[in-house]
């Protein structure tokens, strides 16, 4: 039967590049949904900037994965199904209110910024090169989201309540970030960054006057393509033109 979907071989490099590319693309896509609807004009521009950085990172990573499997960035982004997407469940969660968006960004940025920093020393030079650029961008994403989280935690009773509710809702998705993606020598084991992440999150939450949720359980499955129901809707919107017009050039 004819299908517009592509099959991607599984090597450690492709697996790692796709997992990180999918994280960046899905989160960038989510942030881009704010464009024109943010709480202030300045935030409209800031969220679009972060989205652009993330989409740019995704493109570099898809290009890298593509070098090893002969598919271009658009085939990888637009022609894989939900079950083939490897992103973290955290990044596909809907924007919700501004507090949700900020908490999602903060939890992710506090991890990925440290990961990219560590990856600048990767023995795979193509990954190290991407890391060098990405790390500068994610440092800004972390600063931006931490500053907002502090404003929201400290600001008014309403903003505090919303920020705490967002933390409570999203914390169960945080542990998935520390699962191994590959055991390759060029990869940095996410678990090695856990302590630093805990310290950083605790420090920002303390300044913001927010409470770290106990998170009695955590969700996982994204790396195996078992997603929440949200991803399918995101992909059907994102992929529809490529799916309706197979083979067309845009």
Partner 1 sequence: MYSQGLNQAETDDTADATRAARFQARIDAEDKIEPNDWMPEAYRRTLIRQISQHAHSEIVGMLPEGNWITRAPSLRRKAALLAKVQDEGGHGLYLYAAAETLGATREELVDQLLAGRAKYSSIFNYPTLTWADIGAIGWLVDGAAIMNQIPLCRCSFGPYARAMIRVCKEESFHQRQGYEIMLTLCRGTPEQKAMAQDALDRWWWPCLMMFGPPDTESQHSDTSMKWKIKRFTNDGLRQKFIDATVPQGHFLGLTFPDPELRRDEATGHWSHGPIDWEEFKRVVAGGGFCAADRLAARRKAHEEGEWVREAAAAHAAKRAAKLAASKEAA
Contact footprint for partner 1 (CB under 8 A) = 25, 29, 32-33, 35-45, 48-49, 51-52, 55-56, 58-59, 62, 73-74, 77-78, 97-98, 150-152, 154-156, 158-159, 162, 237-238, 240-242, 245, 248-250
| SS3 state of residue 39 | coil
| Residue 114 tokens, joined | 């440290």
Up-side HSE of residue 225: CA atoms within 13 Å toward CB? 8
3-state helix, strand, coil in the chain (%, to 5): 70, 0, 30
User: Which residues have a Cβ under 8 Å from the Cβ of 136 and sit 6 or more positions away?
Assistant: none
To partner 1, the closest distance from the beta carbon of 32 in angstroms equals 5
Of the pair 145, 159, the CB lying nearest partner 1 is at: 159
Among 159, 137, 111, smallest CA distance to 57 is for 137
Of the pair 1, 41, the CB lying nearest partner 1 is at: 41
Q: Whole-angstrom Cα distance, residue 68 to residue 3?
A: 22
Of the pair 136, 245, the CB lying nearest partner 1 is at: 245
To partner 1, the closest distance from the beta carbon of 55 in angstroms equals 5
To partner 1, the closest distance from the beta carbon of 97 in angstroms equals 7
Of the pair 68, 97, the CB lying nearest partner 1 is at: 97
To partner 1, the closest distance from the beta carbon of 240 in angstroms equals 6
């Amino acid at each position: 039967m004819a299908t517009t979907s592509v099959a991607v071989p599984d090597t450690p490099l492709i697996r790692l590049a796709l997992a990180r590319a999918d994280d960046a693309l899905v989160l960038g896509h989510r942030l881009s949904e704010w464009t024109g609807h943010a709480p202030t004009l300045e935030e409209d521009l800031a969220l679009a900037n972060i989205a652009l950085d993330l989409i740019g990172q995704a493109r570099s990573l898809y290009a890298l994965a593509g070098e090893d499997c002969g598919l271009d960035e658009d085939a990888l982004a637009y022609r894989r199904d939900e079950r083939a997407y490897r992103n973290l469940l955290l990044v596909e969660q809907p924007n919700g209110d501004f507090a949700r968006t900020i908490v999602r960004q903060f939890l992710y940025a506090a991890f990925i910024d440290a990961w990219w920093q560590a990856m600048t020393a990767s023995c795979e030079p193509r990954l190290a090169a991407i890391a060098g650029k990405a790390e500068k961008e994610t440092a800004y994403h972390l600063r931006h989201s931490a500053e907002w989280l502090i404003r929201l935690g400290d600001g008014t009773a309403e903003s505090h309540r919303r920020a705490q509710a967002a933390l409570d809702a999203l914390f169960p998705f945080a542990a998935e970030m520390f699962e191994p993606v590959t055991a390759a020598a060029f990869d940095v084991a996410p678990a090695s960054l856990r302590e630093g992440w805990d310290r950083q999150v605790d420090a920002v939450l303390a300044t913001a006057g927010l409470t770290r949720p106990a998170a009695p359980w955590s969700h996982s499955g994204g790396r195996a393509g078992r997603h929440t129901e949200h991803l399918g809707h995101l992909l059907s919107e994102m992929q529809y033109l490529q799916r309706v017009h197979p083979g067309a050039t845009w």
